[in-house]
Structure 1
Amino acid sequence: MLTMMSTPNHTGVKISGDYFDLDELNQAFYKVIGKEDQYHGYEGSRRRILGISYEIRHAAQGDRNVEFVFNGLHEHTMKQHKFIAPDKNIYFSAEILWPELIYAAIALKDFVGLYQKRVSQSIWDIHLPVIYRFQSLVLDCLQGHIPDAEYETILKGFNQPVTVDDYAIQYVDLMNLKYIGMTKEQREKSLSTIALKLAVQDNEYQAFRKQVLAAATPGKKQIHEIEVSAEYPEDFEW
């Protein structure tokens, strides 16, 4: 079963599951976000989700964290059925920065709409429930770490019909870097603010987007192709 838990220093979220849980999520990502340049204006958001997919894929390959999780098999069950088997399953996991994960959950709303409009309108589609569960797990994990009143505000923002079409995805980098640079206590206090900023695209974001567009115009680049000057630290505590 796919699970999410905030990391010890609240820097991000640990996404855990067995191989099949993680592979199922990856397959759903690939299907819903489409192929490169399939959805004009969404390539930047697509690449960000692929970044999360990359970590999940490597986790499933055993390249990140490996742990043993109790699988519900008790000693009396083994005696009853006369067999001996491990009472733990192998789970794999990877950490994703909080702002990155929140943005992915928001962006997937648009991709789900595009997928339903252009690819599959079937109510029996096997990939959409996986995406919905992923989004729900992000929100559920978020709810566990912020006050109820602030969560309700974020949930209202999340439910607004705000699109990430032509989104300045560099803003996610800005939020990530800000968040990494905080102390644990600062992250605990700022998580709801950052989540709301990503959900509602406030004045700060609009001003940032204008700056990015100004940088994109001279070379006629697409907005997602403009690189940020700041670099991520090679190592930080999760």
Structure 2
Amino acid sequence: MLSIESTELLTGACISGDYWDFDELINAIYEVIGDENRYYDYQGARHRVLGVCFDLRHAAKGEKNIELVTNGIHRGILKSHDLIVPEKNVYFSVEILWPELLFTTLALNDFITLHNEMIDDSLWNIHISVIRKFQSSVADCLKNHLAEEHYTVFSQLMQNKSPKYFRYATQYVDLLNLEYINLSIEERKENLAAFAIRLLIEDESYLALKEEILATASITKNEIHELPLTMKYPEEIEW
């Protein structure tokens, strides 16, 4: 089972599990977000979600973090069943920045809504169930770091009608990531709720950025999500 815990410096959250946990989530996300031509006006959000899937896939290949986790086997079981098996399982993990992880979690709501409307509205859709469990784990981890009133506001905004990210300027997620990285741990504790809420409302900074991107896109003839920010991520992130 995937587990999600905040990193030591509250820079992001660490997603951990075995190979099959990662594989199940990745396949569920691919199934629900569809191919690149299915929901054209959500290409920015789709690419962003796929970016997180890319990190998850690399984690499942053992290219990120590896740890050994007890699996419940003990000497009594080994003796009673006359077995020789490992007492620990291999778990993989990867860190994702909080703004990035929250955007992915929220954007998946849009794709679930679209999938229900266009593909399959069954209550028993296994792929949606897998994604919902992942979203719940993220929300539960976030809840541990927010004041009750702040989490209540976030929850209420999150439950507003989807889709929320129609033709969204996903460069804003980069902006939030970079702002968040530059905070101290004390500032992260104080402002994590604000960053979460900023992903749910189109505040002045978002609107200004989108206006600037649209102006550039009208000249270059690019799609809105194709224009990168000039700001650079640090080569190393302290988690």
> Shorter-chain TM-score: what band?
over 0.9
Q: Say whether the 8 Å CA contact 1:62–1:92 is kept in structure 2.
A: yes
Shift in Å at residue 156 of structure 1? 0.7
Residue type of the alignment partner of 1:181: N
Distance 2:92 2:118 in 1: 33
Tell me the residue number matched to 2:116.
Answer: 116
SS of the aligned residue for 1:36 comes to: coil
SS of the aligned residue for 1:10 comes to: coil
Q: Say whether the 8 Å CA contact 1:22–1:57 is kept in structure 2.
A: yes
SS of the aligned residue for 1:54 comes to: helix
Tell me the residue number matched to 2:188.
Answer: 187
Tell me the residue number matched to 2:208.
Answer: 207
1:22 paired to 2:22: yes
- Could you give the per-residue CA deviations for residues 13-46 of structure 1, whole angstroms, max 9, x where no partner exists? 1111100000001101111111113202111111
Q: Which of structure 1's runs of 4+ aligned residues deviate more than 6 A?
A: none
Which sections of structure 2, spanning at least 5 residues, go unmatched?
none
Tell me the residue number matched to 1:224.
Answer: 225
Shift in Å at residue 232 of structure 1? 0.8
* Structural RMSD (CA): 1.3
Distance 2:111 2:83 in 1: 47
TM (normalized to structure 2)? 0.95
TM (normalized to structure 1)? 0.96
Residue type of the alignment partner of 1:228: L
Distance 1:80 1:47 in 2: 51
Q: Say whether the 8 Å CA contact 1:158–1:200 is kept in structure 2.
A: no
Distance 1:198 1:21 in 2: 27
Q: Say whether the 8 Å CA contact 1:59–1:93 is kept in structure 2.
A: yes
Residue type of the alignment partner of 2:81: H
Which sections of structure 1, spanning at least 5 residues, go unmatched?
none
Aligned ranges 1:1-238 → 2 under 5 Å: 1-162=1-162, 163-238=164-239
Residue type of the alignment partner of 2:99: P
Shift in Å at residue 72 of structure 1? 1.3
